[in-house]
């Protein structure tokens, strides 16, 4: 039963959602819409599961003093403080409908003065690693790597006013060779063609996988005891 009921639910929901796209009338249209609402409700409950899982994993690491366990303390402390600040609306309007982001509320202050600078710092560090990785990895080792290198060059320069200045002297008939125009062409033609090819491939894979799940062939999503 533990395996059959989820498979039956998956089959019914999956089939109805597919049919509702092609026949958006009663009862399928309505059912498809309702299933989307159920999904949103379940998504909210997923937060509870996620929070529970986070506490369980990191609590275990702290209890057993695993490697780097002090980081887990920081994680649990950060999670707890933010949750308390948000749930109890400390410093903000009370009540279930009070705005979390009200100026002066503890949640807003933590978000503004702790979370935002930390996230921005982490992301800003990428610039340094990109520069170092480019120096080591962008080598014209073969034809394919050379094409990639040239494309990277054009895009890097084309995204700056320096690229405009570098080739602005070219006469009008050769304006297509100006770096910003070349960068634009790379983005709109080879990049778009490649991306579309990848997307079509992924879409075909998703269709095949969805059919396997709906028909009960693929059961790994049920967990370790699915077989």
Summarize as ranges the residues that interact with another protein (CB under 8 A).
33, 36-37, 39-40, 43-44, 46-47, 93, 95-103, 108, 111-112, 115-120, 122-124, 127-128, 130-132, 134-136, 138-141, 149, 152-153, 156-157, 159-162, 180, 184, 187-188, 191-192, 195-196, 199
User: Which residue number, 154 or 214, has a Cβ lying nearer to another protein?
Assistant: 154
Nearer to another protein, 38 or 71 (CB): 38
Angstrom distance (rounded) from CA 164 to CA 155: 12
Min dist CB 27 to another protein, Å, is: 15
Smallest gap from residue 224 Cβ to another protein (A): 26
Shortest distance, position 143 Cβ to another protein, whole Å: 15
Q: What are phi and psi of 195, to 5 degrees?
A: -60, -40
| Cα-based distances in Å from 199 to 195, 204, 205 | 6, 9, 10
The token pair at 27 is 């009862």
3 vs 167, which CB is nearer to another protein? 167
Question: How far apart are CB 218 and another protein at their closest, in Å?
Answer: 21
Q: Which of 1/44 has CB closer to another protein?
A: 44
Q: Which two tokens stand for residue 184?
A: 């634009």
Tell me the closest approach of the beta carbon of residue 96 to another protein, in angstroms: 8
- 7 vs 110 by CB, closer to another protein: 110
**Phi-psi category of residue 65: left, alpha or beta, with phi > 0 → left and psi -120 to 50 → alpha:** left
- The nearest distance, CB 3 to another protein, in angstroms, is 25
Q: How far is CA 178 from the centre of its chain?
A: 35
Q: Report the distance separating Cα 166 and Cα 83, nearest Å.
A: 53
* Separation CA 40–CA 57 (nearest Å): 26
Integer Cα distance of 86 and 92 in angstroms: 9
Nearer to another protein, 60 or 132 (CB): 132
Specify the residue, 144 or 227, whose C-beta has the smaller distance to another protein.
144
92 Cβ partners below 8 Å, 6+ apart?
98, 99, 100, 102, 104, 105, 106, 107, 108
Closest distance to another protein from the beta carbon of 217 (Å): 25
Residue the block writes with tokens 């959602």: 17
């Amino acid at each position: 039963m533990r395996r059959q009921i989820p498979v039956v639910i998956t089959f019914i929901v999956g089939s109805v959602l597919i049919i509702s796209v092609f026949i958006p009338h009663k009862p399928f249209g309505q059912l498809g819409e309702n299933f989307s609402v159920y999904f949103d409700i379940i998504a909210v409950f997923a937060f509870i599961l996620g929070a529970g899982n986070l506490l369980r994993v990191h609590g275990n690491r702290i209890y057993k003093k695993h490697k780097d366990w002090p980081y887990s303390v920081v994680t649990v402390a950060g999670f707890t403080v933010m949750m308390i600040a948000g749930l109890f609306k400390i410093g903000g309007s009370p009540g279930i409908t009070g705005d979390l982001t009200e100026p002066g509320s503890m949640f807003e202050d933590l978000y503004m003065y702790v979370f935002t600078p930390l996230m921005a710092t982490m992301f800003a560090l990428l610039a340094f690693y990109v520069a170092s990785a480019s120096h080591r990895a962008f080598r014209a080792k073969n034809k394919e790597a050379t094409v990639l290198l040239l494309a990277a060059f054009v895009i890097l320069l084309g995204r700056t006013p320096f690229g405009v200045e570098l080739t602005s002297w070219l006469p009008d008939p050769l304006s297509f060779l100006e770096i910003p125009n070349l960068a634009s062409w790379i983005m709109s033609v080879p990049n778009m063609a490649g991306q579309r090819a990848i997307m079509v491939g992924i879409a075909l894979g998703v269709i095949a996988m969805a059919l396997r799940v709906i028909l009960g062939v693929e059961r790994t999503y049920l967990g370790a005891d699915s077989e």
